[in-house]
Chain A
Amino acid sequence: MDHQAPNQESLLDRLRPHIPWGLTTPREERGRSIILVTAGALLDVLRASRDHLGLDMLLDLTAWDRMPALPRFEVVYLLGRAGAADRLTVKAQVDGEPPRLPTATGLYRAAVFPEREVYDMFGLVFDGHPDLRRILMPDDWEGHPLRRDFSLFEEPVEFHGHAPKVPSEIIPYFPTGSGSGSGGAAPPGTGSDAGDLPPSGEAPGWGRQPPVDRPSGPDTERK
Chain B
Amino acid sequence: MTPSGAGSGLTPSAAAAPGSAGPEVLTLNVGPQHPGTHGVLRVVVELEGEIIRRATPEIGYLHTGIEKQMEARTYLQNVTLVDRIEYLASYNEEMAFYQAVERLLGVEPPPRARAIRILMCELNRIGSHLMYLAAGTLDLNVSSVFMYAMTDREKYLDLSEMLSGQRMMPGYFRPGGVAMDLPEGFVEAARAFLEELPRRLDEYERLLDDNLIWRERLEGIAPLSREDAIALGATGPVLRGSGVAHDCRTLLPYGGYDEYRFDVPVRTEGDAYARYLVRMEEMRQSRRIALQVLDRLPDGPIIVNDRKIALPPRAELARSMEAVIHQFKLVSEGLHPPAGDSYVATESPRGEKGYFIVSDGSNRPVRAHVRAPSFYNLQALPAMVEGHLLSDLVVAIASIDIVLGDVDR
Contacts and interface: CB of A to CB of B under 8 A. Distances in A.
Contacts of B11: 109, 112
Nearest to B247: A83
A140 B408 CA distance: 17
A135 B22 CA distance: 29
B233 A57 contact: yes
Interface string A37-58: 0001001000000000000111
A110 B231 contact: yes
A82 B1 contact: no
A84 B14 contact: no
B10 interface: yes
A132 to B, nearest CB: 10
B71 A107 contact: no
Contacts of B251: 5, 83-85
B232 A106 contact: no
A145 B68 CA distance: 7
A113 interface: yes
A60 B253 CA distance: 19
Interface stretch (A18-26, A167-175, A198-206): A167-175
Contacts of A117: 375
**Which of B235, B253, B369 has the largest count of A CB atoms less than 10 A from its CB?**
B369
Contacts of A82: 230, 239, 244, 246
Contacts of A106: 4-6, 8-9
Contacts of B308: none
A160 interface: no
B235 A152 contact: no
B87 interface: no
A171 B367 CA distance: 11
B46 interface: no
Interface string A120-132: 0100000111110
Interface residues of B, number: 61
A222 interface: no
State which size class the interface on A falls in: 35 or more
Interface residues of A, dominant DSSP: loop
Contacts of B369: 60, 62, 64
A109 B72 contact: no
B409 to A, nearest CB: 8
A94 interface: no
A137 interface: yes
A130 B6 contact: yes
A136 B2 contact: no
Contact of B14 (A3, A56, A58, A131): A131
B231 A109 contact: yes
Contacts of A105: 4, 6, 9-10
Interface in B59-116: 59-60, 63, 65, 67-69, 71-72, 99, 102-103, 108
A117 B254 CA distance: 28
Nearest to B64: A136
B245 A167 contact: no
Nearest to A4: B252
Interface string A129-168: 1110011111000000110101010000000000000011
Contacts of B375: 113-114, 117
A29 B340 CA distance: 9
B202 to A, nearest CB: 30
A117 B408 CA distance: 10
B376 A83 contact: no
Given A146-B68, A170-B364, A110 B252 contact: no
Given A105-B6, A137-B63, A168-B72, A3 B252 contact: yes
Interface string B8-42: 11110011000000000000000000000000000
A208 B349 CA distance: 38
Given A112-B379, A146-B68, 10 more contacts: A43-B2, A56-B231, A62-B369, A106-B6, A109-B232, A110-B379, A113-B376, A145-B68, A148-B71, A152-B69
Interface of B: 1-11, 14-15, 59-60, 63, 65, 67-69, 71-72, 99, 102-103, 108, 230-233, 235, 239, 244-246, 251-255, 258, 340-343, 345, 352, 354, 356, 358, 364, 366-367, 369, 371, 375-376, 378-379, 408-409
